[in-house]
Structure formats: C-alpha cells, structure tokens
Amino acid sequence: MSRKISFSNAINEALHQEMERDETVFILGEDVAKMGGDFGITKGIWLKWPHRAYDTALSEQAILGLSNGAALCGLKPVAELMFADFVTVCYDQLVNNAAKLCYMYNGEASAQIVVRAVTGGGIRCAYHHSQCIEPWLMNIPGLVIVAPSTPYEAKGLLVGAIRNPNPVVYLEHKLLYNKKGEVPEELYDIELYKANVEREGTDVTMVAAMTMMDYARKAAAELEKEGISVEIINPLTIFPLDKETIIDSVAKTGRLVVVQEGPKVMGYAAEIGSMVAEDIFEYLKAPLKRVTSLDTPVPFAPDQEDYVLPQYDDVLKACREVMAF
C-alpha cells in the first residue's frame, strides 16, 4: 500500500469505483456534474456517467427531497452540501423524512442516502461556512454520522456509507482535502459504528475526530517524551458512537481527554464525557477534560478564528492537567 493520494482524491476514487460497481448509485448537488464540484470532489464523473450526475438548483431542500424520493424508488443518491452549515435549509427533509422512514415502515422502506457535507473552520470562511454541524444531528435517531481523518478512512468510510441502508451524513473537513496518505487502489469499505484504537496507551485516553486527530497524534508523541502514555481513540462514526471501545479504554487508563472542534455545549465531547461519568465513574482517576472551540460563532479575522478554535497547546495542557491527579 505504497501509493499516496490526497483526501479529496480518495473520496473521488471511492465515488468512481462504487458507481462502476453499482449502477443504482448517482450523485447530485450544486455544480457537482459538469464542473466537478466546488472543491473538485466529483470531477470526471459526469464525463463517464452523464445520466447519473445531476447539477441541481441552489436549494438544499430540493436536493434532499429529490434524494429521499430516489431512495424510495430503489436508487442510492450521494448528495453534496457545498457547505455543511446549510443543512439547516434541508433539515426537515433530513430529520423528519429520511431519518424516520425505516422506523415508520417497520424496516420495509428506508432512505438509503449519503449526504456529503463540507464542514469545519480554519480556512477563514467566517460565520456561515465554518461550523461543525454534528451536534445539530446527534439527537436524531435514524441518522448515521461518519467523520474520516485520513485519505484511507475517507475512501473506505464513503464506500461503507453508500452501502449502509440508513441515511448517512458524511463529514468532509475542508482542512483535510489536501492531506495525503496511503490508499489502496482496489475498492474496500470500512465498517461503520466501529471506533479505531489508533494508538495504545496506559495513562490517558484521548478521543478525537477529523482534524483534531492530527493534534492527538502529535500530542501523544510529545507526551511520550515526558513519560505519559496516551491511548488514542478515533470514533470514525460519531453517531451512533462505539460506546464499548471508548468505555474499555477509559476503564484501563482512568483518565479521559476529548478533543472536539465546535462549541463545548452539547457536542460529542459532552456526550462522551457524560457516558463515561455515568457508566464507569468509579474507574476515573481524574476529572475528565474537554478541549473544544469557544461557545461563539466562528469569526472571519484569522487571529480571532484561531483564538476560538481549539489549538495544539490546549491538548497538551489538558493531558498534563489530568495527569496531575
């Protein structure tokens, strides 16, 4: 597996290969066909399958409404939200229709759709194009939320998402698009609902996702020089969480640091922290720590955006603080 490609090319390759394998898969969204998407993720698809790549109106509600109808007819739409922030425009179609279909029809019908959502801050896109939307959707039974952090995960998780019978929100962090990593040429899928133990450790469990995984890996290497052994858990599927893997890790280390881009209130860090405190409080050697964004909109000014978003030094500080107990 010596070939290295970018995160964005890994997603593109997954789409090409899965569409080659399954003729029911098609793509739709704003400028995803002839132009190949605003970020170039769907390039080349329209040239191969002009009748399976559709440019839509500038209407997220229409994109998701069409996706729901197509899924009910047996197709597998992969819809792109150019910016995840605008999931609010199609919230009703996603939350009140797609997420509830399987339950309403007792498993005889479902909305097998993938919503590719471009998420996160860090590239100075300001208030309406820099938000992390997963907390908005984590309270919706019936939805699945996946979050890759490497090109390898990006390809495998997208294939797994397309094959999953449930509506899946597939998060693509903007800062990861140019990240390169080893990716097999052949088609493969990564199992949803299963977290990955990225690094084994004995002193602190650190849970992180997407760009925060880079902070976690770097911090673990730095802290090892100080004699602190960090175990890193990558959820991969943010909702529903792989509770067992996280609980088992914290029970072993006795300490927990959760690193999350996005406001602290009601994020996945809050859910993981509550889950650990509720189930294995007696195993904790120190109060858990959450490293998150500030509870404020993401500013446009670069220095202010950096101030609001979690930084690498914040991760180091949190780990050292839990080790003080």
Determine what percent of the chain is predicted with pLDDT higher than 70.
99
Q: Are residues 168 and 216 in the same domain?
A: no
CATH number of residue 318's parent domain: 3.40.50.920
Average of pLDDT values for 134-152? Answer: 97
- Tell me how crowded residue 39 is: count the other CB atoms within 10 A of its CB: 17
160-180 in b/e form (b: 16+ CB < 10 A) is: bbbbbebbbbbbbbbbbbebe
Q: Are residues 24 and 166 in the same domain?
A: yes
Short-list 57, 45, 116, CA closest to 83: 116
Assess if residue 149 is contained within a domain.
yes
Say how many domains are in the chain: 2
pLDDT tens figures, 271-280? 999 999 999 9
144-146 and 114-119 strand pairing: unpaired
Determine what percent of the chain is predicted with pLDDT higher than 90.
97
Assess if residue 96 is contained within a domain.
yes
Q: What is the pLDDT of residue 80?
A: 98
Residue of 16, 51, 128, 129 marked active site: 129
pLDDT class of 1 with cuts at 50, 70, 90 = low
Stated pTM of the model: 0.96
Q: Is the pLDDT reported for residue 44 higher than 70? A: yes
Assess if residue 191 is contained within a domain.
no
DSSP state of 241: -
Terminal C-alpha separation, the chain: 42
Q: Are residues 66 and 168 in the same domain?
A: yes
Short-list 119, 283, 123, 141, CA closest to 209: 119
Q: Are residues 176 and 204 in the same domain?
A: no
Assess if residue 187 is contained within a domain.
no
pLDDT class of 147 with cuts at 50, 70, 90 = very high
Assess if residue 216 is contained within a domain.
yes
Tokens 């195993």 map to which residue?
283
Q: Are residues 303 and 201 in the same domain?
A: yes
Strands of 204-208's sheet in order across:
196-199, 230-234, 204-208, 256-263, 289-293
pLDDT class of 123 with cuts at 50, 70, 90 = confident
Assess if residue 151 is contained within a domain.
yes
Q: How far apart are CA 168 and CA 142, in angstroms?
A: 9
CATH number of residue 154's parent domain: 3.40.50.970
Q: Where a domain ends, among 123, 153, 182?
A: 182
- The two three-digit tokens of residue 186, written as one number: 């052949």
Helix (H) or strand (E) holding 288: none
Q: Are residues 168 and 268 in the same domain?
A: no
Report the sign of the C-alpha dihedral through residues 57, 58, 62, 68, in that order: positive
Average of pLDDT values for 262-277? Answer: 96
Q: Is 129 a catalytic residue?
A: yes
Q: Is the pLDDT reported for residue 73 higher than 90? A: yes
Q: Are residues 51 and 122 in the same domain?
A: yes
Q: Where a domain ends, among 135, 152, 182?
A: 182
**Average model confidence (pLDDT) for the chain?**
96
Q: How far apart are CA 181 and CA 298, in angstroms?
A: 29
Q: Are residues 206 and 251 in the same domain?
A: yes
pLDDT tens figures, 207-243? 999 999 999 999 999 999 999 999 999 999 999 999 9
Q: Are residues 157 and 97 in the same domain?
A: yes
Q: What is the pLDDT of residue 237?
A: 98
Q: How far apart are CA 275 and CA 280, in angstroms?
A: 8
Q: Are residues 19 and 142 in the same domain?
A: yes
Assess if residue 9 is contained within a domain.
yes
3-state secondary structure of 232: strand
Assess if residue 189 is contained within a domain.
no
Short-list 12, 5, 15, 271, CA closest to 138: 271
Q: Are residues 102 and 129 in the same domain?
A: yes
Q: Are residues 17 and 163 in the same domain?
A: yes
Q: What's the domain range around 165?
A: 4-182
CB 72 within 8 A of CB 63: no
Q: Where a domain ends, among 154, 182, 210?
A: 182
Alpha helices in the chain (DSSP H): 7-21, 45-48, 60-72, 91, 101-104, 134-137, 151-163, 212-224, 243-253, 268-280, 302-308, 312-322
230-234 and 196-199 strand pairing: antiparallel
